[in-house]
């Protein structure tokens, strides 16, 4: 990494440039970088784990960026240090980042106690959140005691983010929960907190109704935690109203799941499933870059598409080729 390698000492000192370089290092796919990254992460691990980890999701335009800016400024005003990471499924596919380009948290970005990191560009095989967990550990080692992980509300990225945070917060629009259909569309079992944003001006009344509807619906979901029943809060990220209530709710949550021991327990489970997803991703990378697989893949895929070969048989052929190669 161009001369000055990020060291654990520089990280611990809270140096944001060292942190940015460290995250770049763990995102790198170069073999020598990966060794360095592994060393750094091993040193970071015992320094991490004390932060409050919050996942934030919501449909495009619901106000995620505005909300993170408002809640982030509030969190800083309480003396915390905040890291904001972004998981953007579009960047994994296209190499460009939708969220990255639009994520303009102008005020927050100026604050010395905030660190904002857009989604890594470029092609990542495996989960879209693959390196975000590592980045989170590095942020925590660098003394950031609150971490937001933002993602857009589509598909697998929500599940992956929910699986790396303590509290998963879902932003919804006023009016999105007025009928059962809307709630069913909007909600998943992942939400520990639903925030109805844009509760201001003409939308205030609608936001109140939506909040009440979600509060009812949340009580009916099968609980993710013994000690926590999901809640719904209305806020205006533009006017700043309700933002303190959102943060108070997050603090009530951490107090409850710490007292019950569930947060610690959940983190153990998350770490184990992280290991398995790492194994899955690594194996898949090795498989897809194996010369024998690369040679056979185009033809086999064509045969499967044409119905000349069953998917099961095709997979077996490719795995055989791969395993023989691995055996030397």
The residues of the shown chain that bind ligand GTP, judged by CB under 6 A, are: 58, 60-66, 99, 102, 152, 197-198, 200, 236-238
The window from 8-16, 94-102, 177-185, 319-327 that contacts Mg ion (CB under 5 A) reads 94-102
Residue nearest to ligand GTP (CB): 63
Q: How far is the CB of 49 from ligand GTP (least distance, A)?
A: 29
The window from 98-106, 125-133, 136-144, 225-233 that contacts Mg ion (CB under 5 A) reads 98-106
The tokens describing 116, both together, are 């904002």
Residue number, 65 or 157, with CB nearest to Mg ion:
65
Q: How far apart are CA 141 and CA 51, in angstroms?
A: 10
Residue number, 11 or 191, with CB nearest to ligand GTP:
191
Residue number, 10 or 238, with CB nearest to ligand GTP:
238
Strand pairing class (167-172; 146-152): unpaired
**What are the C-alpha distances in Å from 237 to residues 68, 143, 240, 284?**
8, 26, 5, 41
When CB distances are held under 5 to 8 angstroms depending on the partner's kind, the choice from ligand GTP, Mg ion, none that residue 197 binds is ligand GTP
Residue number, 101 or 248, with CB nearest to ligand GTP:
101
Q: What is the DSSP letter of 271?
A: H
When CB distances are held under 5 to 8 angstroms depending on the partner's kind, the choice from ligand GTP, Mg ion, none that residue 58 binds is ligand GTP
Tokens 């904002």: give the residue. 116
When CB distances are held under 5 to 8 angstroms depending on the partner's kind, the choice from Mg ion, ligand GTP, none that residue 122 binds is none
241: Cβ contacts below 8 Å, ≥ 6 apart:
199, 200, 235
When CB distances are held under 5 to 8 angstroms depending on the partner's kind, the choice from Mg ion, ligand GTP, none that residue 186 binds is none
Residue nearest to Mg ion (CB): 65
Q: How far is the CB of 59 from ligand GTP (least distance, A)?
A: 7
Residue number, 41 or 114, with CB nearest to Mg ion:
114
Structure-derived torsion over alpha carbons of residues 176, 179, 181, 187, reported in degrees to the nearest 10: 50
- In the list 57, 65, 132, 151, the residue contacting Mg ion (rule: CB under 5 A) is 65
Residue number, 18 or 152, with CB nearest to ligand GTP:
152
Contact yes or no for 68/152 (Cβ under 8 A):
no
Nearest to 225 by CA among 153, 273, 277, 168: 168
Q: How far apart are CA 57 and CA 171, in angstroms?
A: 6
The window from 21-29, 59-67, 154-162, 212-220 that contacts Mg ion (CB under 5 A) reads 59-67
The window from 19-27, 35-43, 57-65, 254-262 that contacts Mg ion (CB under 5 A) reads 57-65
Residue number, 228 or 237, with CB nearest to Mg ion:
237
Nearest to 188 by CA among 224, 237, 148: 224
Which strand ranges, in their side-by-side order, compose the sheet holding 231-234?
A: 114-117, 82-87, 146-152, 52-58, 167-172, 193-196, 231-234
39: Cβ contacts below 8 Å, ≥ 6 apart:
none
Residues that bind Mg ion (CB under 5 A): 64-65, 102
């Amino acid at each position: 990494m161009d001369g000055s390698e990020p060291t654990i000492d520089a990280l611990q000192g809270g140096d944001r440039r060292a942190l940015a370089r460290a995250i770049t290092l763990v995102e790198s796919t170069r073999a020598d970088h990966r060794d360095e990254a592994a060393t750094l992460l091993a040193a970071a691990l015992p320094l991490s784990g004390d932060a409050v980890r919050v996942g934030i999701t919501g449909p495009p335009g619901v106000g995620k960026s505005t909300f993170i800016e408002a809640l982030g400024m509030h969190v800083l005003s309480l003396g915390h240090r905040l890291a904001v990471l972004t998981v953007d499924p579009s960047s994994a596919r296209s190499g460009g980042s939708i969220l990255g380009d639009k994520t303009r948290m102008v005020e927050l970005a100026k604050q010395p106690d905030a660190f904002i990191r857009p989604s890594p560009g470029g092609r990542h095989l495996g989960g879209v959140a693959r390196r975000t967990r590592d980045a989170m550990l590095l942020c925590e080692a660098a003394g950031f005691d609150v971490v937001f992980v933002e993602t857009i509300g589509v598909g697998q990225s929500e599940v992956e983010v929910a699986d790396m945070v303590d509290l998963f917060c879902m932003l919804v629009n006023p009016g999105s929960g007025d009928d059962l259909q809307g709630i069913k569309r909007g909600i998943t079992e992942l939400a520990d907190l639903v925030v109805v944003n844009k509760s201001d001006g003409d939308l205030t009344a609608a936001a109140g109704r939506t909040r009440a509807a979600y509060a009812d619906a949340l009580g009916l979901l099968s609980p993710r935690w013994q000690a926590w029943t999901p809640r719904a809060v209305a806020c205006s990220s533009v006017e700043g109203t309700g933002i303190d209530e959102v943060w108070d709710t997050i603090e009530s949550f951490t107090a409850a799941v710490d007292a019950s021991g569930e947060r610690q327990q959940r983190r153990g489970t998350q770490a184990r499933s992280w290991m398995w997803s790492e194994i899955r991703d690594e194996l898949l990378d090795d498989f897809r870059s194996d010369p024998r697989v690369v040679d056979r893949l185009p033809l086999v895929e064509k045969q499967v598409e044409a119905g000349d070969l069953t998917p099961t048989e095709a997979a077996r052929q490719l795995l055989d080729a791969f395993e023989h190669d691995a055996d030397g």
